[in-house]
Amino acid sequence: MKKGVITDTGPLVAYLSQRDKYHTWACNQLKQVSLPLLTCEAVLTEACFLVSRNGSDAADLIEMLDKGWLSIPFALLHESKAVTKLMRKYANIPMSLADGCLLRMTELLPESLLLTLDGDFSIYRKFGKKAVPVIMPEK
C-alpha cells in the first residue's frame, strides 16, 4: 500500500450531501489533499447507505472510484485476524467493521493521515499505543 490520506465514511457523505453540516468542510478538504483518497469497501458500503438516506445519489461514490478519486488498497480477506482483534479490543466503544479496517489501514500505512468526522479515532490507538493522525474539523 502507498502512503496517503485515508478517508472514513463521514467526509464522503458530507462531500456528496449538500445538506450535511460538514459539506463545506469536506469540500475544502478534498481540494487540499492528494488524490486518490484511500479507503475500504466497508466505508463505501456505509457511505452509499447514508448518502442515499440523505437523498443524494449513492452511485456518485462508485463514480468517484471509477474516476480515480478513491482507491481501495485494503483487502479484509488478508487482514481479517488483525481487524477481528481490533474490534474485540474496542468492543466497549463499539468499533464498527469500517473503523476496524480504517485503524488497520493506518497501521499498514504509518505515514498516512485519516480524514474523519469520528471522534472515536481519538480513542483508538495504532498498534495499541500510538495516536491516529487525523484530519478532523475543529470542535
Domain of 81, CATH number, reads: 3.40.50.1010
CB neighbours of 43 closer than 8 A, spacing ≥ 6? 7, 8, 9, 12, 98, 101, 102
Predicted confidence (pLDDT) per residue in 82-121, tens digit: 999 999 999 999 999 999 999 999 999 999 999 999 999 9
Q: Is 74 helix (H, G, I), strand (E, B) or coil?
A: coil
Query: Structure pTM?
Result: 0.94
Structurally, the chain folds into a number of domains equal to 1
**Residue 137: cis peptide before it, omega within 30 degrees of 0:** no
CA 139 to CA 60: how far, in whole Å? 28
Q: Which domain holds residue 51?
A: 5-135
